[in-house]
């Protein structure tokens, strides 16, 4: 029986366009291939820095990070050297489930990063990997009882990727099958106007098995594709149930590539005299502020220790711009000693990459004004280092080595997410993830919030 769903979204975290092309060609994604044959597939750009929660925040708000306020997996608390783990509470603007709810649409969202804690909506919102337990994952709270009854998994156990890859695969399968069980349950339960389910396990398997897959490892190569074959099986069932007409988007939030080296960027800033360590290193911001002109957070987000902004800042505002120029030169000089290859492709100033609320598109913000900005925009890093694909920017504050290779096999890439859309009017050129909220709202004739980006000039223009 066909279910009653007017707009369906299935997001598959971190699947690169090129890998998807290969899996379509080689028959791994057979059901999806039928859809692509009719509707095509496009490449889509992510966000900077290319972190899932930043990308999904931009998707669900249609805004750049300068407006929604989520810049990474960890952020610096303003005016402090403390860390914050950004969640939906810190998102400064409404998400599409809320906007659609206000227009009386019936909405569903499950497992999308940066939706925990779930905001009240006209429907159901189930938080993603930051939800501590199933008891607290969903709005309305009654939904948690159902989730518990089927042993729903909020996320797979990422630590298994380093310890035991076979156990990781079993765990990924279970997480996926429970997610899909819940998806079909809710899909059949009532009529939906907007229904979005997210699969996170693809990001995990790409982090830990991407090289083995590419090298054609006898055990983990086929296991990698088996996981995607299972996703495709669920897609087949989904297509059957939703019919062949209803608007549908299947897409990822960023691409992936094999890691050549992990780069401990804090070590480099220490070597170059920018950062000095605290006597005891306890967390990523354990610096000695009296001796640090700059410090960083992953991936590649560099902050100036500015007088009057940071609690013990030492760089006067008059030296802000020259300090950033000097940092930029140093960052661009970083090379991998073994190959001599450059690590950093470009370094962007916060005002080149982000724009504040009340502003459409990258607008002129003078450096000193940018330095002193408050609110969501003021949370941005002062410089954002964008690496060449293959160099995964980490922190390594307390470690000894600058370059290393670990169990981690894949890293996120900016330029190559994929998008398959059936009967959805998307911008024709240069698709970016922050452009998706507008077409979804347009489908319903719902007016986008006044400050929403994603149209005309209001896109990333630094490429």
Residue 429's contacts (CB-CB under 8 Å, 6 or more residues apart) are: none
DSSP line for 76-124: EPTTSS-EE---GGG--S--HHHHHHHTT--EEEES-TT-PSPPP-SEE
Site string for Zn ion, 220-239 (x = CB under 5 A): --------------------
Closest CB 411 distance from Zn ion, rounded Å: 8
C-alpha span between 228 and 433 (Å, rounded):
22
Is residue 382 part of the contact set for Zn ion (CB under 5 A)?
no
Return the range that interacts with Zn ion (CB under 5 A); candidates 195-203, 323-331, 342-350, 374-382: 195-203
The smaller minimum CB distance to Zn ion, of residues 73 and 444, is found at 73
The smaller minimum CB distance to Zn ion, of residues 322 and 406, is found at 406
Closest CB 168 distance from Zn ion, rounded Å: 14
Closest CB 52 distance from Zn ion, rounded Å: 5
User: What phi and psi values does residue 198 have, to the nearest 5 degrees?
Assistant: -115, 135
The smaller minimum CB distance to Zn ion, of residues 210 and 294, is found at 210
Closest CB 406 distance from Zn ion, rounded Å: 15
CB-based contact 54:254 (threshold 8 Å) = no
Site string for Zn ion, 15-34 (x = CB under 5 A): --------------------
Closest CB 254 distance from Zn ion, rounded Å: 8
Return the range that interacts with Zn ion (CB under 5 A); candidates 202-210, 220-228, 283-291, 335-343: 202-210
The smaller minimum CB distance to Zn ion, of residues 46 and 275, is found at 46
Closest CB 374 distance from Zn ion, rounded Å: 30
C-alpha span between 367 and 77 (Å, rounded):
21
Closest CB 17 distance from Zn ion, rounded Å: 16
The smaller minimum CB distance to Zn ion, of residues 81 and 256, is found at 256
> If phi over 0 gives left and psi between -120 and 50 gives alpha, with beta otherwise, what is residue 151?
left
CB-based contact 113:191 (threshold 8 Å) = no
User: What phi and psi values does residue 200 have, to the nearest 5 degrees?
Assistant: -100, -25
CB-based contact 108:184 (threshold 8 Å) = no
Closest CB 257 distance from Zn ion, rounded Å: 12
DSSP-derived pairing of the beta strands 8-12 and 194-199? parallel
Smallest CA-to-CA distance from 207 within 414, 412, 29, 18 is with 412
Closest CB 7 distance from Zn ion, rounded Å: 26
Residues 291-310 that bind Zn ion (CB under 5 A): none
Strands (E), 227-300: 248-251, 255-258, 261-264, 294-297
Q: How large is the greatest C-alpha to C-alpha distance in the chain, in angstroms?
A: 68
The smaller minimum CB distance to Zn ion, of residues 355 and 414, is found at 414
Q: What is the DSSP letter of 399?
A: -
Q: Is residue 169 classed as helix, strand or coil in its secondary structure? A: helix
Binding residue for Zn ion (CB under 5 A) from 75, 94, 193, 203?
203
Return the range that interacts with Zn ion (CB under 5 A); candidates 66-74, 144-152, 198-206, 430-438: 198-206
Return the range that interacts with Zn ion (CB under 5 A); candidates 92-100, 196-204, 224-232, 400-408: 196-204
The CA–CA distances, whole Å, from 311 to 203, 280, 383 equal 37, 19, 19
Locate 416 and state its tokens: 């190559």
The smaller minimum CB distance to Zn ion, of residues 75 and 203, is found at 203
The smaller minimum CB distance to Zn ion, of residues 294 and 298, is found at 298
C-alpha span between 247 and 241 (Å, rounded):
13
CB-based contact 404:262 (threshold 8 Å) = yes
Closest CB 332 distance from Zn ion, rounded Å: 26
User: For Zn ion, which residue has the nearest CB?
Assistant: 203
The smaller minimum CB distance to Zn ion, of residues 54 and 302, is found at 54
The smaller minimum CB distance to Zn ion, of residues 203 and 310, is found at 203
Closest CB 14 distance from Zn ion, rounded Å: 5
Return the range that interacts with Zn ion (CB under 5 A); candidates 200-208, 242-250, 338-346, 455-463: 200-208
Residue count, binding to Zn ion (CB under 5 A): 1
The smaller minimum CB distance to Zn ion, of residues 68 and 207, is found at 207
Q: Is residue 194 classed as helix, strand or coil in its secondary structure? A: strand
Binding-site ranges for Zn ion (CB under 5 A): 203
């Amino acid at each position: 029986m066909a279910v009653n769903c007017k707009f369906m979204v299935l997001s598959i975290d971190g699947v690169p366009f090129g890998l998807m092309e290969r899996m379509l060609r080689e028959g791994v994604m057979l059901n999806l291939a039928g859809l692509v044959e009719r509707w095509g597939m496009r490449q889509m750009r992510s966000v900077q820095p290319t972190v899932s929660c930043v990308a999904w925040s931009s998707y669900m708000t249609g805004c750049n990070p300068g407006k929604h306020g989520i810049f990474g997996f960890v952020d610096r608390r303003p005016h402090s050297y403390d860390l914050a783990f950004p969640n939906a509470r810190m998102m400064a603007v409404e998400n599409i489930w809320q906007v659609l709810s206000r227009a009386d649409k019936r909405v569903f969202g499950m497992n999308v990063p940066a939706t925990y804690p779930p905001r009240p909506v006209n429907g159901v919102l189930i938080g993603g990997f930051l939800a501590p337990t199933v008891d607290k994952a969903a709005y309305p709270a009654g939904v948690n009882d159902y989730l518990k009854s089927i042993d729903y998994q909020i996320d797979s156990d990422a630590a298994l990727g380093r310890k035991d890859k076979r156990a990781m695969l079993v765990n990924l399968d279970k997480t996926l099958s429970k997610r899909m069980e819940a998806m079909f349950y809710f899909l059949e339960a009532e009529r939906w106007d907007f229904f979005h389910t997210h699969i996170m396990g693809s990001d995990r398997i790409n982090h830990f098995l991407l090289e083995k897959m590419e090298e054609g490892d006898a055990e983990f190569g086929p296991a990698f594709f088996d996981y995607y074959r299972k996703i495709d099986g669920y897609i087949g069932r989904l297509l059957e149930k939703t019919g062949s007409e209803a608007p549908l988007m299947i897409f990822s939030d960023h691409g992936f590539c094999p890691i050549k080296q992990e780069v401990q960027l804090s070590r480099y800033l220490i070597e170059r005299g920018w950062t000095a360590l605290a006597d005891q290193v306890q967390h990523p911001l354990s610096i000695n502020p009296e001796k640090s002109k700059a410090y960083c957070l992953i991936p590649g987000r560099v902050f100036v220790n500015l007088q009057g902004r940071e609690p013990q800042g030492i760089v006067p505002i008059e030296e802000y711009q020259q300090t950033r120029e000097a940092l930029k030169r140093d960052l661009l000089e970083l090379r991998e000693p073994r190959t001599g290859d450059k690590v950093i492709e470009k370094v962007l100033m916060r005002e080149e990459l982000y724009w504040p609320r009340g502003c459409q598109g990258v607008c002129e913000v003078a450096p000193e004004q940018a330095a002193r900005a408050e609110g969501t925009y003021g949370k941005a890093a002062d410089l954002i280092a964008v690496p060449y694909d293959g160099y995964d920017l980490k922190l390594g504050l307390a470690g000894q080595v600058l370059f290393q290779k670990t169990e981690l096999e894949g890293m996120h890439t900016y330029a190559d997410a994929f998008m398959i859309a059936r009967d959805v009017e998307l911008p024709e050129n240069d698709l970016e993830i922050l452009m998706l909220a507008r077409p979804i709202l347009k489908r319903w004739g719902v007016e986008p919030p006044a400050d929403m980006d994603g149209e005309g000039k209001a896109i990333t223009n630094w490429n």
